[in-house]
Chains A and B, each alone.
Chain A
């Protein structure tokens, strides 16, 4: 069975500060991990995905995530937050089959 846990339902950072959104996964098979972003009244947009090719994955808008098997983590980071980064972020895992399991989301607030 697969699942993800996102630590912190709300995260606030100052503009220009480091963004760190936490995601831990549980999977009985090699996981495929994803980060999605959702802006108000919109669907989910793929930020990046881990498919075992490289442990450090770079995505759009300056985001990246590192897969750490020993810690069962896939945390999302961005060196410098921008006001436009304010949104809801979801971590997801996909194993066998095509069923995705999403975390409960982290709402990111960027303080000017």
Chain B
């Protein structure tokens, strides 16, 4: 079983749609969580951190369920420019170590 698992998609949605991605992780001791975005043939870039209480950044909402070891990302009012691969990332380092483990990514296609 992979340490961080995501549905690869693709999710093909019309502009304006709401779409949700899910991610599960294996290490219950993990302390920090992120969503990264990766455009085709580009490097990953941080989209948002995920906090225990849930957090929102404009059209994007991230939530964490520690009991189920589950992270989600909700995108409202999808734009064409949201088309990308969304990577779920979990820090599985111990103590002061830093071991960012990436999921395989979920591909989103937003159509006109």
A and B associate: no
A residues at B contact (CB < 8 Å): none
